[in-house]
Amino acid sequence: SQQGEEDPQALSIQEGENATMNCSYKTSINNLQWYRQNSGRGLVHLILIRSNEREKHSGRLRVTLDTSKKSSSLLITASRAADTASYFCATDEGAGNMLTFGGGTRLMVKP
Amino acid sequence: EAGVAQSPRYKIIEKRQSVAFWCNPISGHATLYWYQQILGQGPKLLIQFQNNGVVDDSQLPKDRFSAERLKGVDSTLKIQPAKLEDSAVYLCASSLHQGASGYTFGSGTRLTVV
């Protein structure tokens, strides 16, 4: 079963615009991570936010976490065509630190 | 640092045949994971190893799937016999230890069962 659910499932924007993706989950977590996957490739780790953190930045990425609402968002600012990919949230949960992925958001950035 | 190596890159087999995938994690990474990713979906964890021991295999279809990591380094995932619904990308990932920040994924093996 999938813990996280991303919204929207697909997003199409123009280069230079900001892209926001949301993730909701169901159970308590140790941390939440975001990954990017280019077509036909493996996943690349983008950013990790711990359960006691509320916001984190990395370059053009901004992640927020609201544990009371069991939700997270990923903001990509000033998007580029190279940002075109699928983005997945993944929750690290339990004593075994299992990572459970959502269904992903497919982002297309048009040049 | 070398990444997670997987082979083969692609595999096409007929249903009821067997297939094996190989993974070489990043040197020193104690934890290794196998994920199944069906087209259009997120990855689903099949099995998690800590060194050469199984941490979780609750979602591994044990009637047809098996995995091992005998020396705590390389790992193989086997399907026998394959079904049409096993068509997917099989991703291997490793991390320094459980709870380490972020996993490193290999490029995956794309399996097509016809």
B105:A104 CB<8 A: no
Could you say which of A42, A44, A103 has the minimum Cβ distance to residue B42?
A103
pLDDT above 50: residue A1: no
Q: Is the minimum CB–CB distance between A103 and chain B shorter than 8 Å?
A: yes
- Nearest C-alpha in B relative to A50: B101
A99:B45 CB<8 A: yes
- CB distance B94 to B33 below 8 Å: yes
DSSP letters spanning B33-51: EEEEE-TTS--EEEEEEET
Q: Is the minimum CB–CB distance between B98 and chain A shorter than 8 Å?
A: yes
> What is the percentage of chain A residues whose pLDDT exceeds 90?
79
The residues that bridge with B13 in the sheet, in sequence order, are: B113
Task: Provide φ and ψ at B36, rounded to 5°.
Answer: -110, 130
**Best of A43, A45, A56, A89 to mutate (most B CBs within 10 Å, chain B):** A43
**Best of B24, B26, B41, B60 to mutate (most A CBs within 10 Å, chain A):** B41
pLDDT at residue B76, as a whole number:
97
Q: CA A31 to CA A100: how far, in whole Å? A: 11
Q: Is the minimum CB–CB distance between B110 and chain A shorter than 8 Å?
A: yes
Q: CA A60 to CA B82: how far, in whole Å? A: 43
How close is the nearest chain B Cα to the Cα of A109, in Å?
Answer: 19
Residues 33-52 of chain B with CB under 8 A from chain A are 33, 35, 41-45, 48
Summarize pLDDT for A63-85 with one digit per residue, the tens.
Answer: 999 999 999 999 999 999 999 99
A45:B98 CB<8 A: no
**Whole-number CA gyration radius for chain A:** 13
Q: CA A33 to CA A45: how far, in whole Å? A: 8
Which residue is listed with tokens 């958001």?
A105
CB atoms within 10 A of CB B93: 29
pLDDT in tens, chain B (114 residues): 579 999 999 999 999 999 999 999 999 899 999 999 999 999 999 999 998 899 999 999 999 999 999 888 999 999 999 999 999 999 999 988 766 677 899 999 999 999
Q: Which residue has the higher pLDDT, A97 or B18?
A: B18
Task: Provide φ and ψ at B13, rounded to 5°.
Answer: -135, 165
Q: Tell me which chain A residues have a C-beta less than 8 angstroms from the C-beta of B110.
A: 40
pLDDT above 80: residue A4: no
pLDDT interval class at A110 (50, 70, 90) = very high
pLDDT at residue B72, as a whole number:
84
Q: CA A96 to CA A92: how far, in whole Å? A: 9
CB crowding A45-82: b at 16 or more within 10 Å, else e: bbbbbeeeeeebeeeebbbbbeeeebbbbbebeebeee
Structure tokens given for A76: 């990509």
